[in-house]
Structure 1
């Protein structure tokens, strides 16, 4: 039987109006870290998606690696996010908050009081950039600063910070949260033996390096329930100065089986090829499906044909689209009708103001005479 990806579906614990997800994308539109009316408009414009996953949202004041991102650790941030969730729900979409700690991919200018960022070790991401201020106070891309290694107790505190942000997300009206364990940020840094040289319970073999991820998932499940917790992974990725290591496949096989036991809302896999990094190896997503029988979202260079093929084969359940949603607020309608897509302008991805944020036209607006 052929699945129509544009029709409503119950997928695991998710009740969605279609099988298309808007993937998380940093937009840096919040000078004070508090979501506002412009954010509510932006997400409402794109609520043709069955599932919206927000931009990475800081779980604490030390979690940031980009200027002007929103958070979920202060009451005023919770209040601001209520505007966003209300707007999206009014259009019949489901919305999850992506909870974010960048770890070592940060800069002292992103940190309170100019302190060092933290990571599993003190190994610097020497060729990776944060978005901060240089030594002359100019805003832009800056090389990530040398981090300080988290103590064992601090690792547990960060897991608690994720759980607290998850509770705040539910208070703000979100349907759930997605833990950002991808793209070279803190949770993924713990998985990589070239970055994680710890000798405590969070370092060493695969099980120890995966411990922080699983403890964070468990803390969030305890806080808000398993059906409201998802996670994003980037197997074989290389962003954030993460070298490949021999145990990549065993690591993700172990994670798949452990996460299956927990029966979480979904696993969101990103193919980083679209970001100029490594592609998923041929057959990997099919192997991952054999390890994990829960809901799988796949993002990265997706189009309608690829999405329908993978969904109808049972390999994935939901198709994730990122950058096309920026310049095509009506992306779902464009895909359904095979209408031409408006190309993005990457120079407008970051920055304050509405230009390149809420002023993109729908297809119908572009063809109006």
Structure 2
């Protein structure tokens, strides 16, 4: 356990252990504004070496689910400042995951009821979370998107830059660019989604262009040492299929190696599901080779792994050098004191899946803590 509990330097961010709270969408920020519940939720989990916030929309257009927080209006940034202050007071570090969902959205969530935007006009076979008139939440089919005009893409890159600056001004220690799980950047990366014929479609080099342009803008604005990225080579979320994910993500990590990023966050397998996901059109994937490729290309960022890790798997991953950091998702939902439980090898609370999305304090800030012994 010692290695997992050792301090680490993550780019410009010094952390007290290598246990990371993964980003977890909880739909408890009405109006896109972090509130008292959110402050307490993150404060409780400040013993993590690093907290990655729930995915946070860079603009109103980037929102795809009801009651998720944003980075694009003053009230939201003021709310986030209360969160970052609380985490820092608890000795923790926190980065925000910057999100543009692309086509995984619904017209009722978009500015003026417009269509979501994407690399394509093809509808995703996916669902999003909406709040009904009576206040209850439910899942609905995503709406038909429209393909972004080439001339619109620089504006979205600028939105990422502005959001990164706003995040640092709100007290975040850094940002994580969400390039995974079938959202906007992933929609450009995948040949199973991207059917463009301009300079952002066709070859791997063209499909990856948008991701690198976002990385360029963000790292120039806040520094590479406070910038990270999340990728998911084979997860099928949002129909994010590719005919050759190994070649695609080899090219992506070789390109990322030119930035001195804080970390590269890799989801292994199907998000929230099978670690050895090889179904559908996504073939098997060699994660060990991916990291070796990154390092051969000169990349030095911390390597963060994620998806279904338990205590022993995390210990083994860090001790072996296969990973520098391990992110835990569901265990952090039900165990605010997860670090202490892992350290002492104590039982974990079981998360209540019925309370994952939307609601109030129940299943959010009321999970029992270990009894403190004087």
TM-score normalized by structure 1? 0.94
Asked whether the equivalents of residues 72 and 168 of structure 1 are also in contact (C-alpha less than 8 Å), the reply is yes
Could you tell me which of 253, 256, 259 is aligned with 2:253?
256
Superposition deviation, residue 134 in structure 1: 7.3
Partner of 1:289: 291
Asked whether the equivalents of residues 245 and 285 of structure 2 are also in contact (C-alpha less than 8 Å), the reply is no
Partner of 1:268: 265
Could you tell me which of 196, 199, 215 is aligned with 1:198?
196
Structure 2 CA distance for aligned equivalents of residues 137 and 41 of structure 1: 23
Could you tell me which of 227, 235, 238 is aligned with 1:237?
235
Asked whether the equivalents of residues 11 and 226 of structure 2 are also in contact (C-alpha less than 8 Å), the reply is no
RMSD: 2.0
Partner of 2:354: 347
For residues 152-208 of structure 1, the C-alpha deviation after alignment (integer angstroms, 9 at most, x for no partner) is 121221111111100000000000000111111111010111211111110010010
What are the ranges of 5 or more consecutive residues in structure 2 without an aligned counterpart?
A: 279-283, 296-300
Structure 1 CA distance for aligned equivalents of residues 285 and 195 of structure 2: 30
Partner of 1:303: 310
Structure 1 CA distance for aligned equivalents of residues 319 and 250 of structure 2: 23
Asked whether the equivalents of residues 123 and 142 of structure 2 are also in contact (C-alpha less than 8 Å), the reply is yes
For residues 53-107 of structure 1, the C-alpha deviation after alignment (integer angstroms, 9 at most, x for no partner) is 0000010011111100110011221111110000101111111000001101111
Q: For residues 1-369 of structure 1, what are the structure 2 equivalents within 5 Å?
A: 4-125=3-124, 127-132=125-130, 139-245=137-243, 247-273=244-270, 275-276=272-273, 279=276, 284-293=286-295, 294-364=301-371
Structure 1 CA distance for aligned equivalents of residues 114 and 66 of structure 2: 15
Q: Partner of 2:151: helix, strand, or coil?
A: helix
Structure 2 CA distance for aligned equivalents of residues 43 and 136 of structure 1: 28
Structure 1 CA distance for aligned equivalents of residues 131 and 46 of structure 2: 34
Asked whether the equivalents of residues 16 and 49 of structure 2 are also in contact (C-alpha less than 8 Å), the reply is yes
Superposition deviation, residue 9 in structure 1: 2.4
Asked whether the equivalents of residues 184 and 239 of structure 1 are also in contact (C-alpha less than 8 Å), the reply is yes
Superposition deviation, residue 283 in structure 1: 7.1
Structure 1 CA distance for aligned equivalents of residues 239 and 245 of structure 2: 15
Shift in CA distance, 319/328, structure 1 to aligned 2, threshold 3 Å: same
For residues 210-258 of structure 1, the C-alpha deviation after alignment (integer angstroms, 9 at most, x for no partner) is 000000011101111111110000001111012241x211111111111
Q: Partner of 1:236: helix, strand, or coil?
A: coil
Asked whether the equivalents of residues 236 and 279 of structure 1 are also in contact (C-alpha less than 8 Å), the reply is no
Deviates more, 1:166-175 or 1:291-300: 291-300
Superposition deviation, residue 272 in structure 1: 4.0
What are the ranges of 5 or more consecutive residues in structure 1 without an aligned counterpart?
A: none
Superposition deviation, residue 275 in structure 1: 2.2
Asked whether the equivalents of residues 3 and 311 of structure 1 are also in contact (C-alpha less than 8 Å), the reply is no
Q: For this pair of structures, how many residues does the alignment match?
A: 363
Superposition deviation, residue 13 in structure 1: 3.4
Shift in CA distance, 149/137, structure 1 to aligned 2, threshold 3 Å: farther
Q: Partner of 2:229: helix, strand, or coil?
A: strand
For residues 286-329 of structure 1, the C-alpha deviation after alignment (integer angstroms, 9 at most, x for no partner) is 11120123211101001121112111221110010011101111
Superposition deviation, residue 363 in structure 1: 2.6
TM-score normalized by structure 2? 0.92
Asked whether the equivalents of residues 235 and 280 of structure 1 are also in contact (C-alpha less than 8 Å), the reply is no
Q: Partner of 2:351: helix, strand, or coil?
A: coil
Superposition deviation, residue 32 in structure 1: 1.6
Asked whether the equivalents of residues 237 and 277 of structure 1 are also in contact (C-alpha less than 8 Å), the reply is no
Q: Partner of 1:316: helix, strand, or coil?
A: coil
Superposition deviation, residue 352 in structure 1: 3.1
